A and B are shown apart, each in its own frame.
Chain A
Amino acid sequence: MTDNFILQMNDITVQFPGVLALDRVRFDLKPGEVHVLLGENGAGKSTIMKVLAGVNTVYEGKIIYKGKEITARNIQEQRERGISIIFQEMNLLKNLTVAENIFLGRQPLNSIGNIDWKKMYHDARTLLNSIDSDIPENALISSLSVGQMQMVEIAKAISFKSDAIIMDEPTSALTAKEVDSLFRLINKLKTEKVAIIYISHRLEEILEIGDRITVFRDGKYIETVKAEDTTIDKLIKLMVGRDLSEQYPRVKCSPGEKLLEVKNLTKGKHLKDISFFVRQGEIVGFYGLMGSGRTETMRVIFGADSYNSGEILILGQSVKIKNCKDAKKNKIALLNEDRKNHGLILAFSVKENIVLANLDSVMGPMGLNFTKEEIISNNLSNIMSIKTPSMKQKVNFLSGGNQQKVVIAKWLNSDSDIIIFDEPTRGIDVGAKVEIYKIMNKLKGEGKAIIMVSSELPETLGVADRIYVMHEGRITKCFSENIGLTEDEVMKFATGITTEVL
């Protein structure tokens, strides 16, 4: 039996202050298979993978790798053993280029021992081409979108020539096109007998790519099933321990006035002549492939970036938004796609992050009122079901999905009328996703104008009342009714095969 496995982890236990993250769990891996690890936010998926990758070195239990018992002491050693990891929270250095990041610490050298830049950039290009990515190898990481950063992480991980690759939510910010490339790559790796550990909250994806699926719940091992023997519903039941009513709850509202209107917004080469509007009491979806300009559009509206020409109107009045402060004054909120760099103060506690965008909500006569802060954040934390030992916990120590929930809670506390959600469910488990959709529906019912940018087409189709599709910096289509729309129809406009002059 043992000979079949490249890896066996038994009775793994990890304890953090106040949290038993893993309780005697097991996990194994065969060469050339994709073994999916599934579980709710905070179930312990990232934790066990960090143990395996040599990041989390305080653990109990036994790891047998290639027939020998090993101790995972550091990343370097594990990498040499043939285990590499794509982290859930991206770890790229922002001020270096794509190629420099890929080859960090192991740059190719020339005959006199200097870095061979030409070879490095060339190798990086080859690597990126192999995953069908057109990201420039000399671009600075800080100029990339979250999805592009994920592609770079993937390129980096496969460059190690590993026997086992851990992918912790590699696709959370990828659109269908990149997911396809990744799956092609995974299938190729499989034929080379490379084993893949795959973590994702996108269940359709899991059934498509996975061979076996192991489910964790609350730090405990639940079950391992074969992908062909299971269904999404069965998986959800294993994950959350109960059935889920509907994946996309819908609420009917009759939209009111145009709260936000954007006319002919243009920004360099990135955004061309963008015009759209959002009414009170509706959720407007923005779909597009990576780099289509959705995030840029939202950042401009929120005053995070400047623009060349165009007009932004709120309730028909033209407004000047020069910075994010102006945007907030106009009651606009932007929930950023990049939670680690743009959404959270990692060194702040859960409650400090939740109230940051609206400290007025916790002001008392003598200054900040910590009781109020505790009550407000506790309340939002319950609504969002954030898994944390206390409100005092630093968000740095929360699981990825729970960090995302903190960002959402922060903007829910901001008392805005126009709320832009950029990839709101990135890294969020199925159960919690439904809760977030319900919250969006509730906001809609209160007459707020909601924009949702999402890379997941099923989500866009399931949640939005109207849909704008973007392609290469332009709006190529507005579906003014989301009834009976199919993925293919939307996709046509996203890939630029069909364009409609609006």
Chain B
Amino acid sequence: MNIRTLMNIRKIDFANMTPVIVLVLLCIIMSFLSPVFFSYANFVNVLQQVTVNAVLALGMSVVIFTGGIDLSVGAVLALSGIVLGTMTVNIGVSPVISSICAIFVGAIAGLTSGLLVSKFRLQPMIATLGIMSIARGAALTIAGGRTITGYSRGFRWIGSGSIPGTEIPVQIVFMLLLYLLMFYLLKYRKVGRYIYSIGGNEEATRLSGISITQYKTIAYVISGIMASIDSIILVSKLNSAQSIAGEGYELDAIASSVIGGASLLGGFGSVWGTLLGAIIMGVIRNGLNLMNISSNLQRLIIGVIILAAVLLDTLRNRIKQ
């Protein structure tokens, strides 16, 4: 009897610890496969490669916690980047004002998705697929296939500089700040509590006198804003804005969230899980690179991993029932 109880407790802990364990195992395997893997330089390298996906996944997670999904994040990232690039480089507006405009674009995209889902009751998948197409189309219409390049040093500092007097990349600090902010919102503000409760039981939440329209919409707005903040990091990092940027990124974001323990049915998950999920994805990509696996084959492997993660999620839900 006591042993059984102990096992029960272990099982619960194990479920929450899965991403950590996976990450540790992955690191051990990678260290064996590649001698350069386990070094400070490579560690920072991985984190730097992770930031863009991690920030996108952060916004995605908030939507997933409500039981929705946002397929438009990659396209919104591209559109915001194009707006940012066009304004700074082609028109000559200050990067700060352009960035604010880019974020505004992301917020509008999120607001539209949010209202379509909450007020007009469209399936999240369909609504955000539409927004994805619109955003991508808009980006291509504005910039065509051009690469908009040539930004000030100050602006590029965000994506490629380090904190003065240290070697810590700014983008990592930036990402962590966003995670901290979102952690605070989700855990300590009403909006966070409502986001989880909508994901847990939408009808019961509504009947508790909480506006579903309002809080679901907020979740999508957060996702849109995260995508556009992400575009600032990406443009600054690559020193270029492209209308084809971020293609397929939504899948990585979803995968990070699910690997991190979020349930696609909503109601479960944490931002730290998502961060771990994003790092796991990064370590896998890094490993594949170190092993000189071609980018085409990498795509295939990542696809398999994403499916496996989602499959795991469905299994998890079935066991819970």
> Interface of A with B (CB < 8 Å)?
13, 15-17, 58, 60, 302, 304, 323-325, 327-328, 334, 336, 341-348, 352, 356-357, 359, 363, 366-368, 410, 414
User: Shortest CB–CB separation between residue B210 and chain A, in angstroms?
Assistant: 7
Closest residue of chain B to A341, judged by CB? B203
Query: Does B316 have its Cβ within 8 Å of any Cβ on chain A?
Result: no
User: Shortest CB–CB separation between residue B147 and chain A, in angstroms?
Assistant: 43
Q: Are B207 and A17 in contact (CB under 8 A)?
A: no
Q: Are B207 and A336 in contact (CB under 8 A)?
A: yes
Contact of A359 among B4, B8, B190, B200 (CB under 8 A): B190
Residues from chain B with Cβ under 8 Å of A352 in the complex: 193, 197
Docked complex Cα distance between A284 and B267 (Å):
37
Residue among B4, B188, B208, B268 with the most chain A CB within 10 A? B208
Residues from chain A with Cβ under 8 Å of B196 in the complex: 345, 348
Q: Are A368 and B203 in contact (CB under 8 A)?
A: no
Q: Are B209 and A324 in contact (CB under 8 A)?
A: yes
Total interface residues on B, CB under 8 Å, equals 27
Query: Does B201 have its Cβ within 8 Å of any Cβ on chain A?
Result: yes
User: Shortest CB–CB separation between residue B270 and chain A, in angstroms?
Assistant: 13
Q: Give the contacts of B21-37 with A (CB-CB under 8 A).
A: none
User: Shortest CB–CB separation between residue A277 and chain B, in angstroms?
Assistant: 23
Residue among B1, B9, B201, B211 with the most chain A CB within 10 A? B201
Residue among B1, B12, B201, B207 with the most chain A CB within 10 A? B207
Q: Are A342 and B189 in contact (CB under 8 A)?
A: no
Closest residue of chain B to A303, judged by CB? B209
Docked complex Cα distance between A323 and B9 (Å):
42
Residues from chain A with Cβ under 8 Å of B206 in the complex: 304, 323-324
Asked if A359 meets B193 with Cβ closer than 8 Å, knowing A346-B201, A366-B188, the reply is yes
Q: Are B207 and A342 in contact (CB under 8 A)?
A: yes
Docked complex Cα distance between A138 and B275 (Å):
47
Docked complex Cα distance between A16 and B5 (Å):
7
Residue among A343, A345, A366 with the most chain B CB within 10 A? A345
User: Shortest CB–CB separation between residue B268 and chain A, in angstroms?
Assistant: 7
Q: Are B188 and A345 in contact (CB under 8 A)?
A: no
User: Shortest CB–CB separation between residue A356 and chain B, in angstroms?
Assistant: 5
Q: Are B193 and A327 in contact (CB under 8 A)?
A: no
Q: Are A15 and B208 in contact (CB under 8 A)?
A: no
Q: Are B187 and A357 in contact (CB under 8 A)?
A: no
User: Shortest CB–CB separation between residue B192 and chain A, in angstroms?
Assistant: 8
Asked if A410 meets B1 with Cβ closer than 8 Å, knowing A17-B12, A367-B188, the reply is no
Q: Are A367 and B207 in contact (CB under 8 A)?
A: no
13 contacts between A and B (CB under 8 A): A15-B1, A15-B4, A17-B12, A60-B1, A302-B207, A342-B204, A344-B201, A345-B197, A347-B267, A352-B197, A367-B187, A368-B188, A414-B209
Q: Give the contacts of B260-299 with A (CB-CB under 8 A).
A: 267-268
Residues from chain B with Cβ under 8 Å of A345 in the complex: 196-197, 200-201, 204-205, 267
Query: Does B184 have its Cβ within 8 Å of any Cβ on chain A?
Result: yes
Residues from chain B with Cβ under 8 Å of A302 in the complex: 207
Contact of A58 among B4, B9, B12, B205 (CB under 8 A): B4
The 8 closest A-B pairs by CB, nearest first: A367-B188, A328-B209, A345-B200, A357-B208, A324-B209, A347-B200, A345-B201, A359-B190
Residue among B12, B196, B268 with the most chain A CB within 10 A? B196
User: Shortest CB–CB separation between residue B203 and chain A, in angstroms?
Assistant: 6
User: Shortest CB–CB separation between residue A448 and chain B, in angstroms?
Assistant: 17
Residues from chain A with Cβ under 8 Å of B5 in the complex: 15, 17
Closest residue of chain B to A357, judged by CB? B208
Q: Give the contacts of B175-201 with A (CB-CB under 8 A).
A: 184, 187-190, 193, 196-197, 200-201
Contact of B208 among A16, A341, A356 (CB under 8 A): A356
Residues from chain A with Cβ under 8 Å of B209 in the complex: 324-325, 327-328, 357, 414
Q: Are A348 and B200 in contact (CB under 8 A)?
A: yes
Docked complex Cα distance between A323 and B214 (Å):
13
Residues from chain B with Cβ under 8 Å of A58 in the complex: 4
Residues from chain A with Cβ under 8 Å of B267 in the complex: 345, 347
User: Shortest CB–CB separation between residue B188 and chain A, in angstroms?
Assistant: 3
Residues from chain A with Cβ under 8 Å of B210 in the complex: 324-325, 356-357
Further contacts, 17 of them, CB under 8 A, given A348-B197, A414-B209: A17-B8, A60-B1, A323-B211, A324-B208, A324-B210, A325-B211, A328-B209, A341-B203, A344-B201, A346-B200, A347-B267, A347-B268, A348-B200, A357-B210, A367-B184, A368-B190, A368-B193
Closest residue of chain B to A368, judged by CB? B188
Residues from chain A with Cβ under 8 Å of B9 in the complex: 17
Residues from chain A with Cβ under 8 Å of B193 in the complex: 352, 356, 359, 368
Q: Give the contacts of B201-227 with A (CB-CB under 8 A).
A: 201, 203-211
Residues from chain B with Cβ under 8 Å of A357 in the complex: 208-210
Docked complex Cα distance between A71 and B202 (Å):
39
Docked complex Cα distance between A367 and B183 (Å):
12
Residue among A16, A17, A60 with the most chain B CB within 10 A? A17
Docked complex Cα distance between A336 and B207 (Å):
8
Residues from chain A with Cβ under 8 Å of B189 in the complex: 367-368
Residues from chain A with Cβ under 8 Å of B8 in the complex: 16-17
Q: Give the contacts of B1-57 with A (CB-CB under 8 A).
A: 1, 4-5, 8-9, 12
